[in-house]
Amino acid sequence: MAHLIFTIGLIGWAGLVCASNAVEESSQPDVKKGQSLYQIHCAECHGEGGRGDGPRAALLAPRPGNLVSAATSTKTDQELLSIIARGVPRTAMPGWETILWEEDRRNVLAFIRSLVHFQKPTLTPPPS
């Protein structure tokens, strides 16, 4: 009897581990895929490095944003995903809802986040 309970427990546990792995895999964004999508769809305006200096940028008013700026970096994933999905009114920024799958919008965002190299400020005080 104890054996049976143990076996059932083990199967249940294995099932749980598999299920949580599957969830983790699908929620982990693919930065490489995001990068290629970014190069195809976004770089012409926002620039290869996200600095808002793509070839089309100079012709646009308002200019495309610098995606590695503090203004963008401090926005939450939720805020940026909704901007990417719906676009920015009265600017050239289109909504990507109908062009990129939600998963791919997340991949692109992961790539944009990867362009930002946050460093903690050093703790040594400046020389006086």
Residues lying near ligand HEC in the complex (CB under 6 A) are found at 41-42, 44-46, 56, 60, 62, 64-65, 67, 71-72, 75, 80, 83-84, 88, 91-93, 96, 108
Length of the chain: 128
Our CB check for ligand HEC shows the closer of 35 and 42 to be: 42
Q: Which amino acid is at 49?
A: G
Which residue lies nearest ligand HEC, judged by its C-beta?
Answer: 65
Cα dihedral 85, 86, 87, 88 sign: negative
Say which residue the tokens 């600095």 belong to. 51
Inter-residue contact 63 to 57 (CB < 8 Å): yes
Q: How far is the CB of 18 from ligand HEC (least distance, A)?
A: 33
Question: Strand runs (DSSP E) across 1-128, as ranges?
Answer: none
Q: How far is the CB of 26 from ligand HEC (least distance, A)?
A: 20
Q: How far is the CB of 99 from ligand HEC (least distance, A)?
A: 8
